């Protein structure tokens, strides 16, 4: 594994002891090691099946795909745009499964590191899994090279990892919003698009209608935040699969800042109607 390479564990005697050549080699024995002071340390290692045997068995008998008894429609509203004050990422908080509101308080914007967040749309389980994988890979890159991977490099890495799943049931659409003012959309077929404005999900046509009419490069921070709130609110008003509250992040050179308030929609409704 990658962490083994970083720590130098792969070529150590302990690694060879824990990775027997035979698939069913018995390793239930005491492992003797000496610490720096010369004290003898004894570790009891239980028997286990090596990963090679497990991999061979998995390839020999591929698992069957279980079909759902009925299709569950998914919906969401996420958006991101660039302006002179940084990058704005916003999303609703409703997780839907067909006509069911599965959860009204879901975080569809996830921080990856101090200057990068991703908005997610698609299957909730798939999105959470790939966000964890991406966060792990970025952390390993930082450990290897003592610096963070660029936003473009992160998008390319994610695209390469997702491309083998093209044509499968994996449903992931992530928008990378980071500094230095980068906005890149990556989906589960490996497509990678870069732009100044993206909205993804079933409510995106309604959000685009608000953004296209009011988005300007010269927006102030307050105007940009208000525009993102209104775009998500309008989408949740028309799209049955989006709703509840607005989750919003502002990314600048100092890092990301979360702007979240459970009363955002109520305040906005009062502002528009009165």
- Please give the positions annotated as active site: 76
Q: How many Cβ atoms sit within 10 Å of the Cβ of residue 177? A: 32
Q: Under a CB-based contact definition with an 8 Å cutoff, are residues 193 and 203 in contact?
A: no
Task: State how far the Cα of 138 lies from the Cα of 11, in Å rounded to an integer.
Answer: 24
Task: State how far the Cα of 232 lies from the Cα of 16, in Å rounded to an integer.
Answer: 55
The DSSP secondary-structure symbol of 45 reads E
Q: Under a CB-based contact definition with an 8 Å cutoff, are residues 246 and 104 in contact?
A: no
Count of CA atoms in the C-beta half-sphere (13 A) of 248: 25
- Laid out side by side, the sheet with 78-83 consists of 197-200, 78-83, 86-92, 246-252, 255-260
Give helix then strand counts, H and E, for the chain. 8, 14
Look up residue 20 and give its two tokens: 């027997």
Q: Closest Cα to residue 270, out of 240, 233, 215? A: 233
Q: Under a CB-based contact definition with an 8 Å cutoff, are residues 219 and 86 in contact?
A: no
Distances from the Cα of 56 to the Cαs of 8, 18, 19, 61, 146, in angstroms?
A: 27, 18, 15, 9, 36
Look up residue 193 and give its two tokens: 């698009």
């Amino acid at each position: 594994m990658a962490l083994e390479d970083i720590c130098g564990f792969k070529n150590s005697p302990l690694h060879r002891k824990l990775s027997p050549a035979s698939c069913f080699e018995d390793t239930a024995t005491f492992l003797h090691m000496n610490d720096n002071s010369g004290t003898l340390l004894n570790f009891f290692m239980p028997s286990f099946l090596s990963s090679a045997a497990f991999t061979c068995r998995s390839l020999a008998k591929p698992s069957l795909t279980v079909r759902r008894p009925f299709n569950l429609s998914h919906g969401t509203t996420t958006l991101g745009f660039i302006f002179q004050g940084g990058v704005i990422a916003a999303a609703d908080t409703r997780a839907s499964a067909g006509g069911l509101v599965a959860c009204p308080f879901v975080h569809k914007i996830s921080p990856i590191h101090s200057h990068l967040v991703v908005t997610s749309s698609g299957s909730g389980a798939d999105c959470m899994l790939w966000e964890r994988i991406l966060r792990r890979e970025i952390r390993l890159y930082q450990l290897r090279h003592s610096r963070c991977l660029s936003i473009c490099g992160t998008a390319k890495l994610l695209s390469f990892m997702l491309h083998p799943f093209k044509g499968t049931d994996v449903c992931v659409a992530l928008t990378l919003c980071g500094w230095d003012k980068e906005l890149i959309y990556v989906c589960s077929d490996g497509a990678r698009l870069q732009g100044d404005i993206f909205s993804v999900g079933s409510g995106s046509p309604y959000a685009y209608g608000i953004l296209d009419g009011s988005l300007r490069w010269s927006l102030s921070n307050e105007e940009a935040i208000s525009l993102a709130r209104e775009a998500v609110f309008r989408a949740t008003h028309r799209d049955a699969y989006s709703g509840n509250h607005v989750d919003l992040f502002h990314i600048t050179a100092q890092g990301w800042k979360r702007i979240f308030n459970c009363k955002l929609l109520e305040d906005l409704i009062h502002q528009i109607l009165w």
